[in-house]
Structure 1
Amino acid sequence: MERSGWLKCLADDYQRLRSAATTDLTAQVPSCPDWTAADLVRHVGEVYLHKAAAIRQGERPDPWPPAGLESEEPIALLDRAYGELTDQIAQRGDDEPTWTWHEPDQTVRFWIRRMAQETVIHRIDAELAIGAPVAPIPDDLAVDGIDEVLKLFVAYGSHTWREEFEPDLASAKGRTVAVKLDGGPAWLVRTDPDGVTVTGPSPTTPSSDATVSGDPVAVLRWLWARESAPTADAQSPVRVDGDEEALAEVRRLLATATQ
C-alpha cells in the first residue's frame, strides 16, 4: 500500500471506531479486558496526539503526556487528535524525516502506515465491544498489516527490546511457523534464543514445523488476537496445523509484541 490507500483506510476506520464506541462508551472491550469503549477511544486519541507531536517536532515527544488530557471527554479528544494528526500529515511528504521507534525508517511515511494499522485494529475492538459485525477490511490493508506485525513488532521488537522477549525466547529451539494466505504469499517465522527472524513474503509456502493459513483478514485478526467469539456451529476461518509448541511460542511472542 501507499499513502493514499493508508489515508483512506485511516479515515474510514476512524469513523467506524467513533460510531461503534459512541453506541455505548461503557461497553467492555473483550480483546482488551481492562478497557471500556471509553478507555479505547481515549487510548487512540492519545496515540494520535503523540504521533502528531512527533511529526510536528521531528523528535520523540518528551515529556509525555501533556497535562489535561485526562479531563477531556473521550470522543472530543479523539476528534481533536485525529484532526491534529491528519493536519500534520497533510503538510508533509512521505519521506520527510521525523522520529519513529523503528530505527531503519525515520520518516513520516512510517507513521502514516502505522496509524492506518493502529486504527483498523482498534475499530475491530470497538465493534467487538458492542457486539456489532466487524466491517470489511480491504485485503491489501490486511496483507500490509500482516507484514508489519510480523517484521516490525515481532522480529524487530525481539531484537531491539530483547529484555521484554526474554521469557518467551528462553526455550526457543529454532522452530518455524509459516504464515500462509489463501491463494497468496507466505512468511516464515523462526524463533531462536537470540530473537525472531521473519522472511518473506514468498510466493511459495516454505517448509516449517507448523502453519497458520487463511484469507488475509482472518490471518490479520488471528495474529492480533482480534477474532470474534466462537460459536458452536462456526469453524475458525484460520487453519492451524503442525507442532503445537511452535504455534504456542509464536502466540506468546505476538502477545508480548502487541501488548
Structure 2
Amino acid sequence: MEYSELRGDLDVEFHRLREVASGADLAADVPSCPDWTLADLVRHVAEVYLHKAQCIRFAREPDPWPPEGIEDEMPIALLDRAYAALAGELDTHSPTERSYTWYDPDQSVGFWYRRMAHETVVHRVDAELAAGVPLTSIPDDLANDGVDEILVVIAEFSTVYWPDYFSDALAGADRRTVRLSTPQRSWDVLMTRENVRVRESGPGEPTATVAGAPSDVLLWLWDRRPDAPVPQGDADTPDTLRRVLAIATR
C-alpha cells in the first residue's frame, strides 16, 4: 500500500476507535484482551502512540519509558494527546527518513505508517467488542496488507531473530505449511522447528489452509475471530501458527 493510503486509514481507524471508546463504559471488559478494561485498552493505545512519536522524533528507542505522570491523565484525553503527537510526527517527516524501529530490515518512518495503521485496526476491533457494537468493516486492501504484515514482519522476523522464545511452540512443526488465502492474495507459511518462513503461495499442497475474506483472515490471525474462517486439513498446523503468533504479538 502507498504511505498516503496507510496514513489515511490510520486516521479513519483512530477516529472510529475514539468514537466507540468515548461512547462506551470504560470499565467494560475487553473480551479479546483478558484482564483489560476498555480504559486499559485506551491507555495502551495512547502509550503506543506516544512511544512511536518519540521513536520518530529522536530516531532512537525512548528511554526512560513510560513518561512520568502519564497514569494521572484521563484515558480519552491521553488518547487525544497521544494521537496528536503521533500524527504530528508522521506529517512532518518523510516516510523515507530514518526512525528507530524494532524491525531491523526497515529503520524508516514509513515502517510506523504501516505498523500504526494495523495496530489501530486491531485495537479498534477490541474497542467495538468491548462496547458490544457491530464490527466496522476493514477495507480489503488494508486487511490484505495486514495479513502480510503479521506474517512477514511479525511472525517470520520474530522467529528468525528471537528463536529461543518459540522453541516450544515450534517443537512439533516438522516442515508443515499453512496456506492463508483471500480472494486477492495467498501466502504459504512454512513452519520448521527453527523458525517460520513466508512466501507467496506456489505449487504443492499445504498441510492446512485458512481461506476467507481479507478481514476474516486478518482477525483470525490476530485471534479476534478465532472460529471463522474454519481451517481445513491438518488441525494441529493452524494451531501451531496461532501459538507462534500469540507469542510474537504479546
TM-score range, shorter chain: over 0.9
Match of 2:223 in 1: 225
Q: State the TM-score, normalizing by the size of structure 1.
A: 0.93
Q: How does 1:6-85 map to 2 (within 5 A)?
A: 6-22=6-22, 23-85=24-86
Residue by residue, what CA displacement relative to the aligned partner does 1:53-81 show, whole Å, maximum 9, x if unpaired? 00000111111111111111111110000
| C-alpha separation in 2, matches of 1:245 and 1:27 | 34
Q: How does 1:146-225 map to 2 (within 5 A)?
A: 146-181=147-182, 183-200=183-200, 202=201, 206-225=204-223
Identity across matched positions, percent: 49
Q: Secondary structure of 2:97's partner?
A: coil
| C-alpha separation in 1, matches of 2:186 and 2:149 | 13
Q: Secondary structure of 1:6's partner?
A: helix
| C-alpha separation in 1, matches of 2:134 and 2:4 | 26
| C-alpha separation in 2, matches of 1:73 and 1:184 | 42
CA contact (8 A) 1:186 1:205 kept: no
Q: Secondary structure of 2:197's partner?
A: strand
Match of 2:97 in 1: 96
| C-alpha separation in 1, matches of 2:229 and 2:59 | 40
Greater shift, 42-51 or 152-161, is seen at 152-161
Give the partner amino acid of 1:149.
I
| C-alpha separation in 2, matches of 1:141 and 1:222 | 15
CA contact (8 A) 2:219 2:225 kept: yes
Residue by residue, what CA displacement relative to the aligned partner does 1:30-72 show, whole Å, maximum 9, x if unpaired? 0001100000000000000000000000111111111111111
Q: State the TM-score, normalizing by the size of structure 2.
A: 0.96
Runs of 4 or more, structure 1, over 2 Å off, are none
| C-alpha separation in 2, matches of 1:53 and 1:173 | 41
Give the partner amino acid of 1:122.
H
Tell me the number of residue pairs that the alignment of Structure 1 and Structure 2 aligns: 249
1:258 partnered with 2:222: no
Residue by residue, what CA displacement relative to the aligned partner does 1:149-177 show, whole Å, maximum 9, x if unpaired? 00111111111121221211122211111
CA RMSD of aligned residues (A): 1.3
Give the partner amino acid of 1:145.
G
Match of 1:233 in 2: none
